[in-house]
Amino acid sequence: MTPPAEGTAPATQPSDPSTAVANPEVSPLTHFDAAGQAHMVDVSAKAETHRIARARGQIRMLATTLALIEDGQAEKGDVLGVARIAAIQAAKRTAELIPLCHPLPITRVAIDFDIDRAASVIRCTAQVETRGRTGVEMEALTAVQIGLLTIYDMCKAADRGMVMGEIRVLEKHGGKSGSWVSG
């Protein structure tokens, strides 16, 4: 993936953490105002740029459950097909689920599933894009989590012990802070 060329300056960090809430312009916690109250960040002065975020998570299950999914034998149908649609829908509805997220005009959502038979794991990767004033990390994370929850829902009759985890942002591009890639 080629990151957008816009702004690569690092985000400003406060020099004195005790002033972070008192001066929200330098606070790393931008969802709090000067009085410490939660608020939706004003992004009106930010430039519209191409923004991309990729996130990933996984669900571990019994080998027999994984075989049901791969063979298309799950009782509720095409598990990964339904999980893909659920993940896309979740990315589009993130602002309805996360109280301080801005509703964004998402331009692209891609969901990929990778099966690791040796580990009995399915990994879900979401890439979300927009042209806007704020990033799409929350949309990518929400897509991953809902995709994994859908797999759980569709297979819980066969395996209630499935475990979801390692949900994280892999990379983000665009905006004033530029690009960030997980180490």
Residues acting as catalytic residues:
153
180-181 and 106-116 strand pairing: unpaired
Q: How far apart are CA 31 and CA 38, in angstroms?
A: 5
- Asked if 49 and 107 touch (Cβ cutoff 8 Å), the reply is no
Which residues fall within 8 angstroms of residue 95, CB to CB, at 6 or more apart?
A: 101, 102, 103, 104
CA of residue 136 relative to chain centroid, distance: 7
Containing 110, the helix (H) or strand (E) segment is strand 106-116
Question: 36: alpha, beta or left, given left = phi > 0 and alpha = psi -120 to 50?
Answer: left
- Distance, CA of 136 to CA of 83 (rounded, Å): 20
Contact 136, 19 (CB under 8 A): no
